[in-house]
Amino acid sequence: MSLQIAADAAASQFEIRFESIFDSGRGMSFPCDPQGHVDLDSLPTRARHNYLFARAMVGKDYLPPAVRGRNSH
């Protein structure tokens, strides 16, 4: 298995989640690797903008992000 395929497989198993400070249950999640790194180049434009917004709003609108396993649906 190539390193890129292994990295893609790992990223598909994890997400980084930004929970709202003010609205319990509301938040944004994005695929990431086990360390929480998001591949911005692989995100669609809108998701990339949402990720950058959530990251910039940590402490204002969102709690610090948490990495977790993705639900398999």
Residue 36 structural domain: 3-63
- 44 part of a folded domain: yes
Taking the C-alpha atoms of residue 30 and residue 15, their distance in angstroms, rounded to an integer, is 5
Structure tokens at 12: 């598909």
What are the residues facing 58 on neighbouring strands? 62
69 lies in a domain? no
- Blockwise average pLDDT, block size 10, the chain, 73 residues: 50 88 92 94 96 97 94 54
Question: What integer pLDDT is reported at residue 24 of this predicted model?
Answer: 84
Structural domain total, the chain: 1
Cα–Cα dist 45/35, whole Å:
23
Half-sphere exposure of residue 50, counting CA atoms within 13 Å on the CB side?
A: 13
What pLDDT is attached to residue 8? Answer: 55
- Contacts of residue 44, Cβ cutoff 8 Å, sequence gap at least 6: none
What does pTM read for this prediction?
A: 0.78
